A = this chain, B = another copy of it.
Amino acid sequence: MSKSLTKRSEDYSKWYNELVVKADLAENSGVRGCMVIKPYGYAIWEKMQAQLDKMFKETGHENAYFPLFVPKSLFEAEEKNAEGFAKECAVVTHYRLKNDPDNKGKLMVDPEAKLEEELVVRPTSEAIIWSTYKNWIQSYRDLPILINQWANVVRWEMRTRLFLRTAEFLWQEGHTAHATREEAIAEAVQMMDVYAEFAENFMAVPVIKGVKTESERFAGAEDTYCIEALMQDGKALQAGTSHFLGQNFAKAFDVKFTSNEGKQDYVWATSWGVSTRLMGALIMTHSDDNGLVLPPKLAPIQVVIVPIYKGDDQLEAIRSRINPLMKELRDKGISVKFDDRDTHKPGFKFNEYELKGVPVRIAIGQRDMENNTFEIARRDTLSKETVSGEVVVSYISNLLEDIQNTIFQKALDYRATHITEVTSFDEFVEVLESKGGFISAHWDGTAETEEKIKELTKATIRCIPIDGVEEEGICVFSGNPSNRKVLFAKAY
């Protein structure tokens, strides 16, 4: 394992690609645009999943599973949604291979096994789910339906990057059905809030909650709520979306219910999702030129212990000193690894765990054995301290909390200095090029202005912040009146 990473300041994008591979998180596969998520990367994703799943269940949702395939006729039923995804669909057309008569030992698609109707590999599951909900919903008594699914989806992206944009990715998708517009909107907002809480309290990634403009909305939604994060290179990253779908899918699939008062109406819907893209946000928010920096709450290994010794006797002495410490830490729910490999030197191990972002490293050598001390290094600041054996457990426990808070605060400070209010388009362009980050500016509310700004600068409206205030102003581009500032940025 070669440690040296490209520096962020040299080439941020290269740094990211190298880090994902060298920290054993993921790699490109033999299938165009699809990744292999390696055990260490998957262990982080599992921790994310477990926490999100808990939060979904606490808000009343249940898990279920719907088919991978969507028959073309169902896929095209909701027109806008179909339009939005048609250009990036993997399509199954045949259900059998046969021996290739011209090519011994090779297989070919059997032309006699052509499907009557093509199957789209789900890019998202609204269509298949709403065609199912149709049979589940007759009366208001059948509502709400609050279901989540953990699944893989496929969107045939032309330019892919590990975790950030891959042809296949893993995600969860919530799909809920409600009797009223208000209830559905409340659900969509609730799930945005759940995502924000997860991002900030577990990933230590500060996010801005907002609403998308019409042109950035999910295909088929009436409103898309989102959380937007800011990466260290000044680019924004959409970390989760929650859609109020109105009655669009209910109308497309003819899903009506009889209300309390005996009236028939179409059902109201939401859908919401986060994906393995969150891994990209996690990596890019905290990591540094030495490698990954992980929030302790999502780190597969929170504490690693590296013995410094000569010969088996010293190692055994260290082991008997370490065993009760490991037990005490594990009893507190802290995950610990004792790396006693004799194939690698301590220095190599230090580098490896730095690269992999293990939050706390304990080293113990002969002097520590004599003095009943441990050398404790924290990954985020790379600082070290010698700690007495008598207080080491509470020291580590506090340190993990401190690291979680410190990296969140650091990301928050970075964001605070990278939200810039501008009042002229010259300033807009200058800030975007020199400093990046979010630009807060008045916008006249038209798709035309939005599109022109995008063409000229590559910046898009990331969101209309939920906590923004109404205020009179003048559009930064057109000079037309505006009553609200929005956030622009270049984005992943």
Contact = CB atoms under 8 A, between A and B. Distances in A.
B96 A93 contact: no
A68 interface: yes
B156 A66 contact: no
Interface in A23-68: 27, 29-31, 34-39, 42-43, 46, 62-68
Contacts of A96: 86-89, 91, 156
Contact of A68 (B34, B95, B119): B34
Interface residues of A, number: 64
Tell me how many chains of this kind the complex includes.
2
Q: Which of A66, A105, A109, A343 has the most CB of B within 10 A?
A: A66
Contacts of A171: none
A121 interface: yes
Q: Is the interface of A mostly helix, strand, loop or mixed?
A: mixed
Given A30-B128, A147-B39, A105 B76 contact: yes
A187 B446 CA distance: 63
Contacts of A105: 76, 79
Contact of A97 (B34, B43, B72): B72
Contacts of A156: 95-96
Q: Which of A31, A72, A98, A131 has the most CB of B within 10 A?
A: A31
A35 B132 CA distance: 11
B36 A72 contact: no
B65 A37 contact: yes
Contacts of A71: 30-31
B86 A97 contact: yes
B36 A75 contact: no
A168 B31 contact: no
A76 B29 contact: no
Given A90-B92, A91-B95, A156-B95, A42 B67 contact: no
A382 interface: no
Contacts of A151: 152
Contacts of A89: 95-97
Contacts of A154: 68
Contacts of A327: none
B90 A95 contact: yes
Contact of A343 (B30, B109, B141, B170): B141
A46 B31 contact: no
B97 A66 contact: no
Given A90-B95, A97-B86, A105-B76, A31 B62 contact: no
A70 interface: yes
Given A30-B67, A36-B65, A39-B62, 5 more contacts: A30-B74, A42-B64, A75-B97, A86-B107, A96-B156
